[in-house]
Every structure is written in C-alpha cells, then in structure tokens.
Amino acid sequence: MTHPLKFLFESLQQLKSEQDLQTNFAAKIGDYFEAKRRGILFFDQLPLANKKLQKAIETGLSVNKNPVLRYLTERHTPVHEALVTSPKVWTMICPRPDHWHVMAGPIVSNNQLVGVIGCTREQSMPAFDEQNLADLSAICLHVSVWVAARRSPQKPLCTERLTSRELQIAELVALGKTNAEIGTELWITENSVKQALKRIFRKLEVSSRAAMVRQIYATQ
C-alpha cells in the first residue's frame, strides 16, 4: 500500500524554486493536515518594510514569548501548542481564533534552523495529535534535504553501496516509520531492521537516521 506522504515527497522533487515550495507545496501540506492556515517561512526572507508587520513577526518568532518556537529551536523537532503550554496561556500568547491549534516543524540546513513549516486550525477543528507530529517530522526532514541541496550543493553520494533491501528500509525511515513498523511492513524482525540500519550507517559514514536520509535523498 502506498504511504499517503509519498505523494507529497514526489511533488517536492518536482519543485523548481523556494517560491514554489512556499506556495504550491505549502498548499499541499495544508490540505494534507486539513489546516485552516499553513505556511513555510524562511528567517532570511522576513519582510523589513512594513514596521507593523515586522513587529508582529518579531513577537511571534521570539523564543522568549513563543513557547512553540522555543521548543522547536531547542530541539529541532515538530511541536504543537498543547505540548508546551495550556489552552488558557496559549490564547493569551496568540489570541487569533484561526490559530487556536498550532503545529510547527523545523527546516534545517547545515545544522542550522533556517525556517519553519507551520499549520493552524480553528477552535472548532480537532487538535493536532501525535500522528500529525510524526507526519510533519517526515515532511520536515524531506524539505530540509531539499533546501540544503539547493543552498549548499553537495557532491552526489554513490548509493549503489546500498542493497535494494537497505534502500527499502531507508525509504520507510524517511516516511517516519519506527523499526517495529518497518519490520511489520517488510515481514522481517525488528532486530533485522536494527542490524540493517547499522550497516547503512557504516556504509554512508553517518550516525543518525536523519543524517542517513539527508545523505540519500540530497542526491536524488
């Protein structure tokens, strides 16, 4: 069965510019999460002309005032508002009715947080949950690879060193699957998945799942 995120990943590879990412791809993310609002923001592209807008952005992007951004900045992992504060406090921080539920994830390039993927829902809509966070984590990983490849082109890595089974496992890791879920899908034991990942890490000279995915997908 095709993973529902695979359509997003395939469409990402068709994009030609960061502007396409911020318009066309962001719209697809909004549809996927059934969000009221959605957006992809790069910190080096913040508007400077409109002082009122700039002040609002600086408040929203202040790690001292926004616990969602603080969590994301410190951990480089997706977060929704319920993980870091209470509903009452959140409405004081962000009183907008279309931002009652907020979820954000990091865009990382060269180990630096360079942008954010965000989605919001109204009070009448369901809150973001753990599955949403897992899916956003996979999306952020792929977007980070896409951005890093365009901002800092790297020499292609020879993925021929990996077997077809190892590439299968790497693809499922990129989709946000756990070792147990990968084992179930491929009809192998969880320990077999762990051993395969150790071999992949050794071949690619990496030490984490995120680094493995960046190495492989930055060359595609």
CATH number, residue 183: 1.10.10.10
Same domain, 69 and 49: yes
Same domain, 179 and 72: no
The pTM of the full predicted model, rounded to 2 decimals, is 0.70
> pLDDT tens digit string along 13-37?
888 888 999 999 999 999 999 999 9
Cα→Cα distances 48→19, 136, 151, Å: 18, 29, 22
C-alpha torsion 63→68→72→78, nearest 10 = -170
Strands (E), 110-155: 112-121
Per-residue 3-state assignment (H helix, E strand, C coil) for 3-32: CCCHHHHHHHCCCCCHHHHHHHHHHHHHHH
Whether residue 1 is contained in a domain is answered as no
* Domains identified in the chain, total number: 2
Residue 99's domain comprises: 6-151
> pLDDT tens digit string along 160-208?
678 888 888 888 888 778 899 899 988 999 999 999 999 999 988 888 8
Same domain, 142 and 43: yes
C-alpha torsion 61→82→139→27, nearest 10 = -70
